[in-house]
Amino acid sequence: MLSHAENERLVRVGPGTPIGQLFRLYWIPFYLSKDLEPNGQPKRLKLLCEDLVVFRATDGKVGLMANACAHRGAPMMYARNEDCGLRCIYHGWKYDVTGTVVDMPAEPIRSRFKEKVRIKAYPCAERNGVIWTYMGPEKEPPPLPNMEWNLVPEENVNLSLRIQECNWLQALEGEIDSAHAPILHGRIDNKGSINQWVAKKDLRPTFECIRQDFGMSIAARRRFDEATLYWRVNQFVMPFYSLVPPQSKFPDLSGHAWVPMDDENTICLMFSYHPTQPLPQKTRQIFQDGHDGRETGHASKQAFAQKTPSAPYAEFWTKFSPESNFAFDYASQQTTWFSGLPGLWVQDAACQTGISPIYDRTTENLCSSDTGIVMTRRYLLEALAAYQERGIQPLGVKDPDIFMVRAVSLQLPEHERWADAGRRHMRAELGKDFGYEL
């Protein structure tokens, strides 16, 4: 349980809020390269409650700037994307990707006014299909974080992006909580690989957590057989990432960046990757098309329900939302899904979204399987206090290698410590395979 004040500290992300300031110390992944064409229509988006547009200029560079023109606030989402910049349609002011005014066609030819104004713009960087931005206070941004999912070759990764209609922390807490997985995602028919999950053998895991420089390792211990324990170690990675260990049937690593669009909506950037091999075309196809008409961990092509182009992230909203009851079907609880919800991410999203976009954590009743959630909240609150009260930034802001970490699933003899046995497997290294039997 959190006090109202603690909850507010963790969920409000706009400029000047405690966690909003902490997030702004980091590079933030917010868009996929494939979704931006050179000279294409600027896309409106929101990031940490800021109203912005993103576009790809003629020369391929990405610009991210305020949606309000610096002159008199006309919407830049209607701007003309032309010749390496965005031109406001109201009086024609044109900005380059850095936010510099390069033309003011209605001003006297000799006017130097354009040297004095800028539009708010944030630097962007692109790596392996992901666009990142830095919205922080430093003139010189820190290095991009070294995260394995964004460093392995693009053919090893499947990326997807969708908007979920709840606060970022609800979504994060859903994915670091591995007690839910064999229950919520269970099937009552005997179909699908879920029934082969090792985690299904024991629905009462015991949790152990270890504080790390990058965040929190959250280990769930389950009985495998008389002499063996099965450990699933999820990672919370600062400031808003979760990593999920592989299942034996689908040996890929996966996870999310849960990036706040605003206080009530989250940009869910999902990655699934193999550390050393290209993803089989069939796997990629299943992620993109769904599996036998149901959703996998990734939102399928059919899941999207576009909003009008003036909505932020217009192309990334889905038909599985509170408004549609996430396609909940009570009859399917009798025949197919334990949950009555059609597929993995939809089941997660329905529970994470809960009954309101911002959950009131003063009324919850936490139990032993919530240990990882409690520890993660504490980690975040301590990081906030350290930064706000003593000016200490989290270690990963300046040290990009802290993020080279993997989630692991290990079968170990009863008396072996997971932390010792798992240490080297939890360290990500480019080109290194899992290193243990899946």
Q: Binding segment for Fe ion among 32-40, 303-311, 347-355, 387-395 (CB under 5 A)?
A: 347-355
| Residue closer to ligand FES (CB basis): 68 or 438 | 68
Interaction partner, residue 120 (Fe ion, ligand FES, none; CB < 5-8 Å by kind):
none
Phi, psi angle pair for 318, to nearest 5°:
-125, 165
Alpha-carbon gap, residue 96 to 105, rounded angstroms = 15
Residue 348 within binding range of Fe ion, rule CB under 5 A = yes
3-state secondary structure the chain: CCCHHHHHHHHCCCCCCHHHHHHCCCEEEEEEHHHCCECCCCEEEEECCEEEEEEECCCCCEEEEECECCCCCCEHHHCEECCCCEECCCCCCEECCCCEEEECCCCCCCCCHHHCCECCEECEEEECCEEEEECCCCCCCCCCCCCHHHCCCHHHEEEEEEEECCCHHHHHHHHCCCCCHHHHCCECCCCCHHHHCHHHHCCCCEEEEEECCCEEEEEEEEEEECCEEEEEEEEEECCCEEEECCCCCCCCEEEEEEEEEECCEEEEEEEEECCCCCCCHHHHHHHHHCECCEECCCCCHHHECCCCCCCCCHHHCECCCHHHHHHCCHHHHHHCECCCCCEHHHHHHHHHHCCCCCCCHHHCCCCHHHHHHHHHHHHHHHHHHHHHHHCCCCHHHCCHHHHCECCEEEEEECCCCHHHHHHHHHECCCCCCCCCCC
- Which residues would be at the binding site for ligand FES (CB under 6 A)? 69, 71-72, 74, 88, 90-93
Cβ 338 to Fe ion shortest distance, Å = 12
Residues 75-114 that bind Fe ion (CB under 5 A): none
**Cβ-based nearer residue to ligand FES, 55 or 214:** 55
Comparison of 50 and 348: residue with beta carbon closer to Fe ion: 348
Stretch that binds Fe ion, among 158-166, 319-327, 329-337, 348-356 (CB under 5 A): 348-356
Binder of residue 314, out of ligand FES, Fe ion, none (CB less than 5 to 8 A by kind): none
**Distance of closest approach, residue 327 Cβ to Fe ion, in angstroms:** 17
**Interaction between residue 295 and Fe ion (CB under 5 A):** no
Q: How far is the CB of 184 from Fe ion (least distance, A)?
A: 6
Smallest separation (angstroms) from Fe ion to the CB of 352: 9
CB nearer to ligand FES: pick between 93 and 122: 93
- What is the nearest approach in angstroms of Fe ion to the Cβ of residue 181? 5
Min. distance of Cβ 79 from ligand FES in angstroms?
8
- Give least dist CB 71 to ligand FES, A: 3
CB of 106 to ligand FES, least distance (A): 8
Q: Which is nearer to Fe ion, 99 or 192 (CB)?
A: 192
| Residue at shortest CB range from Fe ion | 348
Quick one: what does residue 90 bind among ligand FES, Fe ion, none, with the CB cut-off 5 to 8 Å set by partner type? ligand FES
Nearer Cβ to ligand FES (69/402): 69
Pick from 69, 70, 63, 73: nearest CA to 43: 63
Backbone dihedral region for residue 92 (phi beyond 0: left; psi -120 to 50: alpha; all else: beta): left
Q: Which does 91 bind (CB under 5 to 8 A by kind): ligand FES, Fe ion, none?
A: ligand FES
CB of 76 to ligand FES, least distance (A): 8
348 binds, among Fe ion, ligand FES, none (CB under 5 to 8 A by kind): Fe ion
Residue 259 binding partner per list Fe ion, ligand FES, none, with a CB distance cut-off of 5 to 8 Å that depends on partner kind: none
Of 96 and 175, nearer to ligand FES (C-beta) is 96
Binding site for Fe ion (CB under 5 A): 348
